[in-house]
């Protein structure tokens, strides 16, 4: 196997976009094809701080994994959906979840 520099390593690139403690968990909660509200995400992942959730969502939107829509009703409603690029990640999420279930089952 040849030496691949960090810049060209596909695993490193994928982890740049999807890595860290929270991003895959966030996508995991938007897995069904319907918009998820910011407030719902905070309830699904109670351990994440508001600041971190906003930061990870901003990164996922910048990397075009998620799309953000804001609606000004009596209060500002913000929703997130998977982009087409984001949907390409779903098989990975499902496989990772299966592996995690295997580990949990040990």
Residues in region 6-65 near a second copy by CB under 8 A: 6, 8-19, 21, 24-25, 28-29, 31-32, 43-44, 46-47, 63
Residue 58 CB, nearest approach to a second copy (Å): 18
CA distances from 60 to 11, 15, 36, 75 (A): 17, 12, 14, 24
* Distance from C-alpha of 80 to C-alpha of 61, rounded to nearest angstrom: 9
As a residue count, the chain comes to 106
**Secondary structure class of 70 (helix, strand, coil):** strand
Residue for token pair 């998820």: 36
Q: Shortest gap between Cβ of 11 and a second copy (angstroms)?
A: 5
Q: Which residues 74-93 are close enough to bind a second copy by CB under 8 A?
A: 88-89, 91-93
Binding site for a second copy (CB under 8 A): 1, 3-6, 8-19, 21, 24-25, 28-29, 31-32, 43-44, 46-47, 63, 88-89, 91-93, 95-104
């Amino acid at each position: 196997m040849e030496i691949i520099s960090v810049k060209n390593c596909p695993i490193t690139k994928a982890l740049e976009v999807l890595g860290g403690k929270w991003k895959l968990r966030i996508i995991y909660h938007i897995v069904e094809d319907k918009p998820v509200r910011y407030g719902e995400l905070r309830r699904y992942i109670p351990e994440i701080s508001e600041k971190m959730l906003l930061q990870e969502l901003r990164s996922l939107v910048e990397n075009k994994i998620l799309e953000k829509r804001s609606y000004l009703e009596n209060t500002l409603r913000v929703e997130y959906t998977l982009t087409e690029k984001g949907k390409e990640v779903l098989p990975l999420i499902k496989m990772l979840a299966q592996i995690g279930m295997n580990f949990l089952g040990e």
